[in-house]
Amino acid sequence: MQINKHHLCYNYFMLSQLKSLIVKPSLYHHSYSHTVCDDTVPDKFSVLCWNVHKNNDTFSFSNYIEEFSKKKPVDFYLFQEADFKHDTELNLPSLTFSAAANLEKGSTFYGVLTASKCRAEYSKPFLSHGKELIFGPHKSLLLTKHAFADGSPLWILNLHAINFRENRHYYREIDNMIQIIDDYDGPMIIAGDFNSWNKRRMKFLHTKMKDLNFDPVPFSTSDRVKSFMRNHLDFIFYRGIALVEQSIERNHKLSDHHPLFARFSKHL
C-alpha cells in the first residue's frame, strides 16, 4: 500500500513536533476524582467525542464546553489528543477523569481522556502494539467501567488509532482492540479517532464492529465529520443501548476535528 503524499508531508511535521516530546511517558495511567460525583450513570445519558488537538487546557475551550453543555448536557467527554496533569482537576469543573498517556512534555501528559459526572468503577490504559512512523509514539486506549442504577455495567473504550503505518499494521491494531473488549458483554461504547482514512481500513473496521453487534452512530457526509478522501475518521459505535439523538458541532475553531454528540437510553 502506498501512503498518500499528504500523509507523507504530515509525517515530517509530526517528526518536528516529536522532538520536544517524550514518546515514552513516565506514567501511563492518570486520574482525578472530584469531591462531588455521581455513583451511577443516568438511564438517559449523552456522550461528546472529540479529538481536541491538545487545546482542551485553554479558556476558549472551557468557555465553549460551558456554553455547549447549557444547550446539550453532557455526561461523558471522550477526548483524544487531550492534555492533562496527573491527579489535577481539568479546567472543566466538577468532572472526574481517567486518562491514558502516550506522550509527555514537562509536567503535562497527552493521550486519550474520559471525563464524566459519575465515577468509574474500573479504569485501565492500553497502548497500541505498534508505533507511529516506526520510531514515533504508541497510540493510547482507555477502558472504563461505569454502573447504571440497577447495577448493570456500561463499558466505554476511548481510543486514538494508529495512523501512519501500512494497512496491515492498522488491521493488527483493530484486532488488538477487539481482544481488549472480548471478555465483556452487554452495553458498551467504542469511540474516538479511528484514522480510517482509506476504503480498506473503513471496510475492515466496520466489518469487525458489525461482527461484534456494534452499530455506528449514523452521521452523514453532510454532517462534516472529520474525513480524508471522504472517509470518516471519527466514530461512535454502540451496543446494548438505544440511540436517541446525534449531532455534529462545527462552530468552534478549536480543533481540526468536530465534536460528535450522541444521546443514548439504557432501555432498548
Contacts of 214 (CB under 8 A, 6+ apart): 188, 190, 237, 238, 239
Residue 244 grid cell: 436517541
Domain that holds residue 173: 5-265
**266 SS3 class:** coil
- d(C-alpha 136, C-alpha 134), whole Å: 6
**Model confidence over 46-59: pLDDT tens digits?**
999 999 999 999 99
> Do residues 85 and 99 touch, judged by C-beta distance below 8 A?
no
pLDDT at position 16 = 52
Among residues 127, 78, 132, the alpha carbon closest in space to that of 101 is found at 127
- How many structural domains is the chain composed of? 1
pLDDT at position 54 = 94
Among residues 63, 107, 99, the alpha carbon closest in space to that of 82 is found at 99
Give the residue-averaged pLDDT of 127-154: 92
**156 SS3 class:** strand
pLDDT for residue 43 is more than 50: yes
pLDDT at position 1 = 42
pLDDT for residue 66 is more than 60: yes
SS (H, E, C) 74-132: CCEEEEEEEEECCCCCCCCCCCEEEEEEEEEECCEEEEEEEEECECCCEEEEEEEEEEC
pLDDT at position 242 = 98
Residue 246 sits in a domain whose CATH number is 3.60.10.10
Q: What's the gap between Cα 160 and its chain centre?
A: 6
Q: Answer yes or no: pTM beyond 0.85.
A: yes
- d(C-alpha 43, C-alpha 35), whole Å: 23
Q: What's the gap between Cα 183 and its chain centre?
A: 21
pLDDT for residue 190 is more than 60: yes
Q: What is the mean pLDDT of the chain?
A: 89
pLDDT higher for 164 or 150?
Answer: 150
